[in-house]
């Protein structure tokens, strides 16, 4: 179904060109402070039109709380967030209703739902649905307390950050419009984005996310594991086509002797690992080291150039030229989305761990 989480459960709804988008968030503990400014801050980070690098669609993205909050705190009941669509122009989509855009869900929405589908701007497949996810993420962060989550762009258009960055460096990724935390690479990526735009093209990229402060013992074996739960949530983000944890695909080329993270005791007497190729996860359960994962995003499918398609009614070849407003590269805006999805999953695992408290480090 359309939900993530067992105890902290987020159900998204809405469409790109309907009345709005929103989320029902269940499991917010009673008394949790609901900080609308924190929510607005995350929504602003996700919002298009922040820089010359992204689309100029203007959305106010003002979250309206429909339920579950009283006097600024969660009541314990389902918490509903609604974000109205205020700058909707559906006209470009009506003319091309029968012309599925390559790389978009237009064709598969038709295959699944036929004529009844909402064809306007991606309908329920739109990245617009990540707005309420980001709002829910702000709630999740509050639940997580001491856990800090930060993402940054580590690759785009074939350009990669050539070194591992510290968590403090990653925290400053917002300083650059690309959200790449390595200044030199950031400039190269910015250049690549501008060039793609000037060539009526787009590029993809990779977002890395780290969560610091997750204690050992969250998660579980099999499909209850951190990789399963985080992986599921990440692949629910539009345009995500790859997810890897720790050394990830690179691990596939490593020797066990190099990949295994030896255990040691740190200065505080806590058991930890010397390296973190595991990305903070062993057997689906957190080790206490930073959770580290990367999400690969395909290049934006909407291109302001003619592309080959097929007319769904006539079954004849056709050409479509997307007229909507779209970013040439989605990854800078994907950073707060990946963080939010991670926060939601981790908040759920924190509540699950509270129901069956970790036993080892006691």
Using DSSP's 3-state secondary structure scheme, residue 219 falls into: strand
- Does 222 participate in binding a second copy (rule CB under 8 A)? yes
- Of the candidates 42, 59, 61, 118, which one interacts with a second copy according to CB under 8 A? 118
SS (H, E, C) 89-117: CCHHHHCCCCCCCCCCCHHHHHHHHHHHC
- To a second copy, the closest distance from the beta carbon of 197 in angstroms equals 11
Which two structure tokens, joined as six digits, stand for 62?
A: 């003002």
Binding residues for a second copy restricted to 136-155, rule: CB under 8 A: 155
- Of the candidates 36, 194, 284, 323, which one interacts with a second copy according to CB under 8 A? 284
Residues 13-42, mask of contacts with a second copy (x by CB under 8 A): xxx--xxxxx-x-xx-xxx-----------
Instruction: Report the relative pairing of strands 285-286 and 281-282 from DSSP bridges.
Output: antiparallel
- Compute the C-alpha angle 326/329/334, nearest 5°: 100
- Does 63 participate in binding a second copy (rule CB under 8 A)? no
Site size for a second copy (CB under 8 A): 161
- Does 308 participate in binding a second copy (rule CB under 8 A)? yes
Q: Identify which range of 38-46, 52-60, 163-171, 284-292 contacts a second copy by CB under 8 A.
A: 284-292
- Of the candidates 49, 177, 213, 283, which one interacts with a second copy according to CB under 8 A? 283
* Closest CB to a second copy among residues 168, 275: 275
- Does 273 participate in binding a second copy (rule CB under 8 A)? yes
- To a second copy, the closest distance from the beta carbon of 96 in angstroms equals 13
- Of the candidates 127, 136, 193, 233, which one interacts with a second copy according to CB under 8 A? 233
- Does 125 participate in binding a second copy (rule CB under 8 A)? yes
Distance CA 263, CA 109 (A): 49
Long-range contacts formed by 88-91: CB under 8 A, 24+ apart: 88/16, 88/17, 90/17, 90/120, 90/121
- Of the candidates 35, 55, 107, 172, which one interacts with a second copy according to CB under 8 A? 107
Binding residues for a second copy restricted to 80-99, rule: CB under 8 A: 80, 82
- Of the candidates 39, 47, 57, 100, which one interacts with a second copy according to CB under 8 A? 100
Q: Identify which range of 43-51, 65-73, 134-142, 164-172 contacts a second copy by CB under 8 A.
A: 65-73
Phi, psi of 21 (to 5 degrees): -130, 155
Distance CA 14, CA 116 (A): 15
* Closest CB to a second copy among residues 168, 268: 268
Question: CA-CA distances (angstroms) from residue 144 to 27, 67, 137?
Answer: 13, 22, 10
Within 10 Å of residue 84's Cβ, how many Cβ atoms? Answer: 17
- To a second copy, the closest distance from the beta carbon of 350 in angstroms equals 9
Question: CA-CA distances (angstroms) from residue 2 to 101, 129, 236, 256?
Answer: 24, 12, 9, 38
- Does 206 participate in binding a second copy (rule CB under 8 A)? yes
- To a second copy, the closest distance from the beta carbon of 277 in angstroms equals 8
Q: Identify which range of 36-44, 168-176, 177-185, 225-233 contacts a second copy by CB under 8 A.
A: 225-233
Q: Exposed, middle or buried, 224 (CB in 10 Å: 0-12/13-18/19+)?
A: middle
- Of the candidates 39, 261, 333, 338, which one interacts with a second copy according to CB under 8 A? 261
Q: Which residues are CB-contacts of 110 (< 8 A; sequence separation ≥ 6)? A: 100, 117, 119, 312
Q: Which residues are CB-contacts of 6 (< 8 A; sequence separation ≥ 6)? A: 348, 352
- To a second copy, the closest distance from the beta carbon of 187 in angstroms equals 18
Binding residues for a second copy restricted to 341-360, rule: CB under 8 A: 351-356, 358-360
């Amino acid at each position: 179904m359309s939900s993530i989480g067992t105890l902290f459960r987020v159900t998204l709804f809405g469409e790109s060109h309907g009345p709005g988008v929103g989320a029902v968030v269940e499991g917010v503990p009673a008394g949790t402070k609901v900080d609308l400014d924190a929510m607005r801050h995350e929504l602003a980070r996700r919002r298009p039109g922040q820089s010359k690098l992204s689309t100029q669609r203007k959305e106010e993205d003002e979250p309206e709380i429909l339920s579950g909050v009283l006097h600024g705190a969660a009541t314990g009941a389902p918490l509903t967030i609604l974000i109205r669509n205020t700058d909707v122009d559906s006209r470009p989509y009506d003319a091309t209703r029968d012309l599925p855009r390559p790389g978009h869900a237009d064709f598969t929405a038709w295959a699944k739902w036929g004529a009844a589908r909402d064809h306007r701007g991606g309908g329920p497949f739109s990245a617009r649905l990540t707005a309420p996810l980001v709002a829910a993420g702000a709630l999740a962060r509050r639940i997580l307390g001491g856990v800090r989550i930060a993402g940054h762009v580590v690759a785009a258009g074939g350009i990669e950050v050539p070194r591992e960055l510290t968590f403090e460096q990653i925290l400053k990724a917002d300083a650059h419009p690309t959200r790449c935390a390595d200044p030199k690479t950031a400039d190269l990526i910015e250049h690549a984005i501008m060039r793609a735009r000037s060539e009526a093209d787009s590029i993809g990229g990779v977002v890395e996310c780290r969560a610091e402060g997750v204690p050992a013992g969250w998660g579980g074996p099999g499909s209850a594991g951190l990789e399963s739960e985080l992986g599921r949530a990440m692949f629910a983000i539009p345009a995500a086509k790859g997810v890897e944890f720790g050394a990830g695909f690179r691990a596939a080329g490593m020797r066990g002797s190099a990949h295994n993270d030896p255990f040691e005791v740190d200065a505080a007497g806590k058991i930890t690992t010397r390296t973190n190729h595991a990305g903070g996860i062993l057997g689906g359960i957190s080790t206490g080291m930073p959770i580290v994962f990367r999400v690969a995003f395909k290049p934006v499918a909407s291109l302001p150039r003619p592309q080959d398609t097929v007319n769904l009614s006539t079954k004849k070849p056709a050409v479509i030229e997307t007229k909507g407003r779209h970013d040439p590269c989605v990854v800078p805006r994907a950073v707060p989305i990946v963080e939010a999805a991670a926060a939601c999953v981790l908040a759920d695992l924190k509540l699950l761990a509270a129901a069956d408290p970790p036993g080892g480090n006691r």
